[in-house]
Structure 1
Amino acid sequence: MLNDNIKRLRLSFQISQVELAKKLGVSKQCVSNWENDNVLPSIEMLVKLAQIFNVTTDNLLDLDSSETINVKGLNEKEISHIKCVVQDLLNLK
């Protein structure tokens, strides 16, 4: 559910509803309403939420469960290292 995803991501980023609201230019009550499934965020807010949490809008909406990692600013060696770590973690399962 979208409301659960917003709350889960907000908590994983260790930011309060007030902090998220400031980043989005909305009230704390607005964020609270989204998380309590009282209202849905607008398309514009969905895009902003996705950008803040570095996920796709499909991921926010539970249409795609894949995760992405932003490697912008890393060199090829660093990216290769991250790929190896991910593969090692997958092999543990």
Structure 2
Amino acid sequence: MTEKNNHEVRASYPRRYRAQFGENLKKKLKERRISQATLAKEMGVSRTCVGFWCNGYTIPCNERLEQLARFLETSPKRLLGCTLDSRELDDIWANRITGV
């Protein structure tokens, strides 16, 4: 998958899910007293990338989301938002994995 296609897949989450993810991520960072710069270093991404996640512009790819959840001691589903209907969430993940 090219970088452009990969970005399009991540940005294809509906805005409300990206916003919820950003809010959950910011809460978790605040709870654990971790800065965006520290998170970026731990995840091996730029501070800008973490800023995009926190502001709800993008959601990390599956591998990074799992790595992020492990680092923050939570689950990917919790980061994506408890309010998501589980079938909707499963459909989104299935679409991302198959590249639809």
- Work out whether the TM-score is over 0.5: yes
What's the secondary structure of 2:33's corresponding residue? coil
Match of 2:29 in 1: 10
User: Residue 74 of structure 2 is aligned with which of 36, 55, 59?
Assistant: 55
Q: State the AA in 1 paired with 2:40.
A: A
Matches within 5 A, 1:5-44: 5-44=24-63
Tell me the TM-score normalized by structure 1.
Answer: 0.64
| 2:65 maps to 1:46 | yes
Larger Rg: 1
The percentage of counterpart residues that share the same residue type is 34
**Which 4+ runs in 1 deviate beyond 3 A?**
none
Structure 1 spans left out of the alignment, 5+ residues: 65-93
Q: CA deviation at 1:38?
A: 1.3
CA distance in 2, matches of 1:36, 1:60: 13
CA distance in 1, matches of 2:75, 2:36: 20
> What is the number of equivalent residue pairs in this alignment?
64
- Superposed CA RMSD in Å reads 1.3
Q: Which has the higher contact order (CA 8 A, sep 6+)?
A: 2
| Larger helix proportion of the pair | 2
Q: Does the residue aligned with 2:66 lie in a helix, a strand or coil?
A: helix
Normalising to structure 2: TM-score of the pair?
0.60
- Return 5+ residue gaps in structure 2 as ranges: 1-19, 84-100
3-state SS of 1:29 partner = helix
Q: Following TM superposition, by how much is the alpha carbon of 1:17 offset from its aligned partner in structure 2, in angstroms?
A: 0.5
Cα deviation for residue 56 of structure 1 reads 1.1
Question: Secondary structure in 1 aligned to 2:60?
Answer: coil
Question: Could you tell me how far 1:61 is from its partner in structure 2?
Answer: 1.3
